[in-house]
Amino acid sequence: MDFSLSKEQKEYRQVIIDFARNQLNDSDSLESFSPQVWEKISEFGLLGITVDEKYGGLNESYLTAAIVFEALGYGCENNGLIFMINNHIWVAQNLIYLYGSETLKEKYLEDMVAGKRIGSIAITEAESGSDAFGMTTQAVLDGEDYILNGTKMFISNGPIADIFIVFAVTEKEPKKKITAFVVEKQFLGVSTGADIEKMGLGACPTSEIILDQVRVPKENILGNFNSGSYILMGAIEWERFYEFVPHIGAMKRVIERCGRYAKERKQFGKSIEEYQAISHKIADMEIKLELARLMMYKIAWLKDNQRNAFKEVSMFKIFVSESYIKACRDAMQIFGAYGYTKEYGIEREMRDALASSIHSGTNEVLRNTVYKYI
Ligand SMILES: Cc1cc2nc3c(=O)[nH]c(=O)nc-3n(C[C@H](O)[C@H](O)[C@H](O)COP(=O)(O)OP(=O)(O)OC[C@H]3O[C@@H](n4cnc5c(N)ncnc54)[C@H](O)[C@@H]3O)c2cc1C
């Protein structure tokens, strides 16, 4: 087993860290989406990292993409922005790339890779969260189109997206079947609710998506008719990996901040790092960081070898989110009252981190998934 990174991967990582530090850490864009920052990201060329060059992508491996997104999580302090980017890439653009017909790819991919159109995924509804298959949004055939009706809830990128991957019920009996549709914001009958205020991830706006008699052409079915559950499982496999990879980078950033602070901060005549109660907290963060990264390498290898990684990504999502939340919680304790203030940014890291045990499937539900494999 070879854990060494290639020269190109190391260079790529450094380029991303420098770009993130120099271009993405503007404090004005932390709490709301910034079109200017999005333009910088689009121009940088990161969005099509695993997409074929034919559609303007870079055709990099999943491992390289993981290294790049870990680096982005490390260099970019705007966790909401990273969440926004990930929603665009992995659960919208990537689904069209992997499951879309050539017509759909030609229609949407190039614009999405270039950042001209923003994507998002719409599964959740007010009454169907963890029980995603309990959805009631419906699609009914009418001539050459499907008519969609329903309301989706908690849709990341909702207020700013141009393209939604919408899951809707297409057969109720004898067994419920769902289908994935590519829906454009400009289709008649599509509207979005107001930005839902959240406790964190401010740069990634969230809203309802309302579908009122929306006419969607048959060619906008993603994958096959009635095969939406297959695509949904694929989508959550990608999001449980790539939306959590940057948290490894964020943990590294938090660890380094804690290390520096613990060295500088003196109480009772010595640096607080000399108290094991402090240093062991940081050591525990480092142990979890290392384990999370090992899981990341394994999953990237599985995906580069076209293997299923559903169990692995479920474990990864639980482990990374809980390690990340614990790291932020301990960071706040290490920083004492300064950590609790807005000035040091630790409280924002904490607020951002807390979402990670809920979205992409709650950790409770994911533990059910892992147990099923046992
Ligand atoms: C920041 C953020 C971004 C999101 N972005 C999107 C998006 O872009 N698109 C989208 O479609 N959705 C999105 N969601 C919604 C997300 O997928 C749901 O929040 C998630 O699936 C859980 O659903 P729920 O919040 O309704 O909780 P519920 O399903 O109501 O669960 C409530 C509690 O009950 C527990 N629970 C439920 N069922 C079980 C069970 N079987 N066993 C054990 N415990 C259980 C849960 O773990 C949780 O603790 C987002 C959510 C957040 C927080």
- pTM of this prediction? 0.96
When divided into structural domains, the chain yields a total of 3
* Residue 29 beta carbon below 6 angstroms from any ligand 1 atom: no
Instruction: Please report, for the domain that includes residue 165, its CATH number.
Output: 2.40.110.10
Ligand 1 pocket, mutate which of 82, 130, 157 (most atoms under 8 A from CB): 130
Same domain, 289 and 204: no
* Residue 123 beta carbon below 6 angstroms from any ligand 1 atom: yes
Dist CA 49 CA 253 (whole Å): 23
Dist CA 124 CA 211 (whole Å): 13
Q: What is the pLDDT along the chain (374 residues), one digit of tens a residue?
A: 888 999 999 999 999 999 999 999 988 889 999 999 999 999 999 999 999 999 999 999 999 999 999 999 999 999 999 999 999 999 999 999 999 999 999 999 999 999 999 999 999 999 999 999 999 999 999 999 999 999 999 999 999 999 999 999 999 999 999 999 999 999 999 999 999 999 999 999 999 999 999 999 999 999 999 999 999 999 999 999 999 999 999 999 999 999 999 999 999 999 999 999 999 999 999 999 999 999 999 999 999 999 999 999 999 999 999 999 999 999 999 999 999 999 999 999 999 999 999 999 999 999 999 999 99
CA 297 to chain centre: 18
Instruction: Say if 2 falls within a structural domain.
Output: no
- Catalytic positions, written as ranges: 239
Same domain, 172 and 203: yes
Same domain, 204 and 277: no
Instruction: Say if 44 falls within a structural domain.
Output: yes
Same domain, 12 and 99: yes
Distance 359 CA to ligand 1 centre (A): 6
Give the type of residue at 208: E
Instruction: Please report, for the domain that includes residue 92, its CATH number.
Output: 1.10.540.10
- HEC assignment per residue over the chain: CCCCCCHHHHHHHHHHHHHHHHHHCCHHHCCCCCHHHHHHHHHHCCCCCCCCHHHCCCCCCHHHHHHHHHHHHHHCCCHHHHHHHHHHHHHHHHHHHHHCCHHHHHHHHHHHHCCCCCEEEECCECCECCCHHHCCCEEEEECCEEEEEEEEEEEECCCCCCEEEEEEEEECCCCCEEEEEEEECCCCCEEECCCCCCCCCCCCCEEEEEEEEEEEEHHHEECCCCCHHHHHHHHHHHHHHHCCHHHHHHHHHHHHHHHHHHHHCEECCEEHHHCHHHHHHHHHHHHHHHHHHHHHHHHHHHHHCCCCCHHHHHHHHHHHHHHHHHHHHHHHHHHHHHHHCCCCCHHHHHHHHHHHHCCCCCHHHHHHHHHHHC
* Residue 368 beta carbon below 6 angstroms from any ligand 1 atom: yes
- Residue that finishes a domain, picked among 191, 226, 261: 226
The residue segments making up the domain with residue 18 are: 7-118
